[in-house]
């Protein structure tokens, strides 16, 4: 079957979109300052690589998208765990009227867009050999030759690469991040769960009564800081809230969104005991005042 490159006019695709912001997303002041410094360098045309680490459900993926929304940047997200071939980075063959065409990938289109934000989500779920294919784009060269496209792919000025990473024994299917790859991400942001009162404010904004919102936030923070930590995400608390607003009891709601998902029996027992304390305790800490969430 004949093979030829698609004409330049055929490579035109929709522009990379700017994502909407997350009005409920909380960013610590120190991290907000880091993002502002990254944006300043990007505005000067510098390419910046940032690694985001932290527990599950603390907003790693959302932070990259929120950066793009706040600074009005085109945003493209790559799910690294889905890559099984090096060439997926750059494009693929398409069949049209009996002729095979090579189509440039959305990833290449994004990195060639000035000021774009490119998220390499869960970067250590991709095989190291697959990640090796883009090392030249992430270091001082900011470029790589591609035979199929027939030209040198160059990262446009101001492009910001974010990469999220999950590390530790709790994560399966992840690889140790290669030292050469990690060295290319010269900035690292560590994320943690938001303060209790800020999390309570979000739950209250979604319809939960203030006292119950505070109880749930305290419950989550207690479990996260226990001897055997249970990483309860804000997402799980929001599902608990939805279940309760739909008529479920606190216990049934928490079982659906949090407890039934735990595979470790010790953690499950501890979570149930803490929930029992929450149900029996009419007061949590009357000195804690929840932070109302304001939409921007």
Give domain limits for the chain.
3-191, 196-280
Q: Which residue from 227, 220, 296 is spatially nearest to 259, judged by alpha carbons?
A: 220
Gap between the Cα atoms of 251 and 263, Å rounded: 18
pLDDT score recorded for residue 40? 98
| Regions in the chain scoring below 70 on pLDDT | 1-13, 98, 167-175, 280-296
- 10 Å CB burial of residue 228 (0-12, 13-18, 19+) is exposed
Q: 142's torsion region: left (phi>0), alpha (psi -120 to 50) or beta?
A: left
Domain 3-191 has CATH 3.40.50.300: yes
- Whole-model pTM above 0.85? no
pLDDT at position 14, please? 80
Residue showing tokens 């799910």? 79
Element (H or E) spanning 257, and its range? helix 250-257
Q: What distance in Å separates the CA atoms of residue 1 and residue 3, rounded to the nearest whole number?
A: 7
pLDDT at 291: 53
Report pLDDT for 175. 66
Return the pLDDT at 280. Answer: 65
Chain centre distance of CA 184: 19
* End-to-end Cα spacing for the chain: 55
pLDDT digits (tens, 9 = 90+) for 62-95: 999 999 999 999 999 999 988 888 888 998 877 7
151 neighbors 111 (Cβ within 8 angstroms): no
Quick one: pLDDT at residue 217?
Answer: 92
d(CA 8, CA 12): 7
How many CB atoms within 10 Å of residue 95? Answer: 9
Q: How high is the pLDDT of residue 57?
A: 78
What is the pLDDT at residue 12? 53
């Amino acid at each position: 079957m004949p093979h030829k490159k698609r004409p330049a006019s055929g490579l035109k695709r929709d522009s990379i979109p700017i994502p909407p912001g997350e009005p409920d997303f909380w960013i610590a002041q120190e991290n907000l300052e880091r993002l502002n410094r990254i944006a300043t360098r990007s505005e000067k045309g510098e390419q910046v690589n940032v690694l985001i680490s932290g527990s599950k459900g603390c907003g790693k993926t959302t932070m990259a998208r929120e950066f793009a929304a706040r600074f009005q940047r085109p945003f493209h997200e790559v799910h690294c765990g889905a890559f099984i071939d090096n060439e997926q980075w750059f494009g693929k063959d398409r069949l049209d009227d009996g002729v095979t065409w090579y189509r440039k990938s959305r990833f290449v289109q994004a990195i060639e867009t000035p000021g774009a934000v490119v998220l390499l989500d869960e970067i250590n779920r991709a095989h190291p050999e697959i990640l090796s294919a883009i090392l030249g784009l992430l270091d001082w060269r900011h470029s790589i030759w591609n035979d199929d496209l027939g030209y040198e792919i160059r990262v446009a000025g101001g492009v910001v690469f974010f990469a999220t990473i999950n590390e530790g024994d709790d994560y399966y299917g992840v690889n140790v991040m290669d030292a050469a790859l990690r060295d290319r991400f010269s900035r690292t942001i560590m994320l943690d769960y938001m303060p209790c009162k800020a999390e309570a404010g979000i739950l209250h904004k979604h319809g939960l009564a203030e006292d119950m919102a505070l109880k749930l936030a305290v419950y989550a923070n207690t479990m996260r800081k226990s001897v055997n930590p249970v990483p309860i995400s804000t997402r799980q608390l929001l599902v608990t809230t939805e279940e309760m607003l739909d008529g479920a009891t606190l216990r049934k709601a928490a079982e659906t969104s949090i407890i039934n998902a735990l595979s470790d029996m010790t953690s499950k027992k501890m979570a149930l005991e803490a929930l029992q304390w929450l149900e029996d305790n009419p007061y949590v800490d009357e000195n804690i005042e929840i932070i109302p969430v304001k939409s921007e």
